[in-house]
Amino acid sequence: MQDLPYRRLAGFYFFYFAYIGAFAPFFSLYLDGAGMSAVEIGVLMSLPQLTRIVAPQLWGWLADRGARRLRVARLAGAAGTIAWLGVFADAHFAWLFAVLLAMTFFWSAALPLVEATTLSHLGDETARYGRVRVWGSLGFIAAVVGVGYTLDYSSTKTLLWIVLGLMGGMLGFCWAVPDARVAPHASDELPIGHILKRPEVIALISACALMAAAHGPYYTFYTLHLVDHGYSKSLAGWLWALGVICEVGIFIWMPHLYRAFTPRGILLASFALAVARFLMIGWLPGSLAALLLAQVLHAATFGSFHAAAIGVVHKFFRGRHQARGQALYGSLAFGVGGAIGGFASGYAWAGLGPALTFTLSSACALAGMLLIAWKLRLEARD
């Protein structure tokens, strides 16, 4: 294994997910203050997911054609940061649509390419991935708490400068992280479509898309669900934080899980616990104990699930296909699955109500678990 540039990778993850923690929960407040309608806010806030479906494929293809994949991430990140400067020029819908479309299109290159680089540096020690990725969770917690307090005492326009500063941190660490040597692999001469057609690869990506879809109602309506049942907004915030804190714990503990269980076993357990978690959220909102337990299970439904899934993707997509493999995982699982889950949850919430909507989330997780159990077989060569 090559020497791991731990601090530089940790710095990138910290700033990247701090940016997510600042932008995703709070940018809608800025848009509301700028006079946007609910429909306009929904359209603008959906752009990151929509660009995530297509753009990473372009960046992954470009990166896999050359020996220095991070050059693509650095140049695209610089372009995305420049695009963000457009938010200071105007606040009309059409202008912000163009600005956010460009910004998210360019910045979508960073994460999958850095993920592929991290796993290349780790080599066969993918169990150590969680120890690096945990800094992203810490960045998210720091941003979501810090920005919340900041906006209590300042204008929402302050958020624009905060996001710009976090992008600067991302970009700086992206330039600091060294490229990893891509080890040649027997699959290098095969087209990537050959790998994608393998039944176990189809099953894995489909199951991951189902898990992302299962989280759609949670990310869209969880806070509203709590407030509707009499909980304060501050308690809702702490419940969100509890989930991410438990996610941090599981990332740190992942090497021990890898020694005790196979990646397939970890995935099966993560999906099974997701089934239970969403049923508790949907049917037991009056029980704080049940909600606390459900948030602890975020360690499984995102933490162990993502760490195990990304390791398996790394096993399937080797050599020159690594960057595109991670891009495909992000696009098809979190892009397509997340977009469908978020979009469908609104209709389900209005037509079926919270309990049945979260039951559908559990059904998605169950379907994903059955796919993993049925088709995912990891042979010694994988």
CATH number at residue 95: 1.20.1250.20
The arithmetic mean of pLDDT across residues 51-80, rounded, is 81
Highest mean pLDDT among 103-117, 289-303, 340-354: 289-303
The arithmetic mean of pLDDT across residues 145-157, rounded, is 83
* Pair (2, 80) in one structural domain: yes
- The C-alpha angle 240, 105, 146, rounded to 5 degrees, equals 30
Residue that terminates a domain, selected from 162, 183, 204: 183
> Which domain covers residue 245, as residue numbers?
186-382
Rounded to the nearest 10 degrees, the angle between the axes of helix 263-283 and helix 199-214 is 30
Which tokens in the block code for residue 41? 């806010």
Residue 2 has pLDDT above 90, yes or no: no
- Asked if 304 contacts 137 with a C-beta cutoff of 8 angstroms, the reply is no
* Pair (166, 237) in one structural domain: no
Q: What is the pLDDT of residues 83-140, one digit of tens each?
A: 999 999 999 999 999 999 999 999 988 888 888 788 777 776 766 777 888 899 899 8
- Asked if 369 contacts 203 with a C-beta cutoff of 8 angstroms, the reply is no
- pLDDT (0 to 100) of residue 32: 81
Sign, CA dihedral 106-168-16-25, equals negative
Rounded to whole angstroms, the Cα distance separating 150 from 154 reads: 6
* Pair (28, 57) in one structural domain: yes
- pLDDT (0 to 100) of residue 197: 80
- pLDDT (0 to 100) of residue 190: 57
Name the residue with higher pLDDT: 66 or 20.
Answer: 20
- Asked if 183 contacts 29 with a C-beta cutoff of 8 angstroms, the reply is no
Confidence of residue 320 (pLDDT cuts 50, 70, 90): low
Least confident of 138-152, 203-217, 322-336: 322-336
* Pair (72, 159) in one structural domain: yes
Q: What is the pLDDT of residues 230-260, one digit of tens each?
A: 888 667 778 888 998 998 889 888 888 888 8
pLDDT averaged over every residue in the chain: 85
Q: How many CA atoms lie within 13 A of 246 on its CB side?
A: 18
Other CB atoms within a 10 A radius of the CB of residue 256 amount to 11
Residue that terminates a domain, selected from 183, 212, 228: 183
* Pair (13, 40) in one structural domain: yes
Which tokens in the block code for residue 246? 């438990």
Please write down the HEC assignment for all residues of the chain.
CCCCCHHHHHHHHHHHHHHHHHHHHHHHHHHHHCCCCHHHHHHHHHHHHHHHHHHHHHHHHHHHCCCCHHHHHHHHHHHHHHHHHHHHCCCCHHHHHHHHHHHHHHHCCHHHHHHHHHHHHHCCCHHHHHHHHHHHHHHHHHHHHHHHHHHHHCCCCHHHHHHHHHHHHHHHHHHHCCCCCCCCCHHHHCCHHHHHCCHHHHHHHHHHHHHHHHCHHHHHHHHHHHHHCCCCHHHHHHHHHHHHHHHHHHHHHHHHHHHHCCHHHHHHHHHHHHHHHHHHHHHCCCCHHHHHHHHHCHHHHHHHHHHHHHHHHHHHCCHHHHHHHHHHHHHHHHHHHHHHHHHHHHHHHHHHCHHHHHHHHHHHHHHHHHHHHHHCCCCCCC
- Asked if 252 contacts 127 with a C-beta cutoff of 8 angstroms, the reply is no
* Pair (197, 176) in one structural domain: no
Which tokens in the block code for residue 144? 């979501």
Rounded to whole angstroms, the Cα distance separating 15 from 294 reads: 28
Rounded to whole angstroms, the Cα distance separating 277 from 231 reads: 19
Least confident of 166-175, 228-237, 317-326: 317-326
Q: How many CA atoms lie within 13 A of 337 on its CB side?
A: 23
Q: What is the pLDDT of residues 309-318, one digit of tens each?
A: 988 887 887 6
pTM: 0.73
* Pair (51, 78) in one structural domain: yes
* Pair (64, 150) in one structural domain: yes
- Asked if 73 contacts 59 with a C-beta cutoff of 8 angstroms, the reply is yes
Rounded to whole angstroms, the Cα distance separating 216 from 219 reads: 5
- pLDDT (0 to 100) of residue 189: 56
* Pair (45, 141) in one structural domain: yes
* Pair (83, 232) in one structural domain: no
Residue that terminates a domain, selected from 147, 163, 183: 183
- pLDDT (0 to 100) of residue 51: 85
* Pair (341, 367) in one structural domain: yes
Domains: count for the chain? 2
* Pair (198, 174) in one structural domain: no
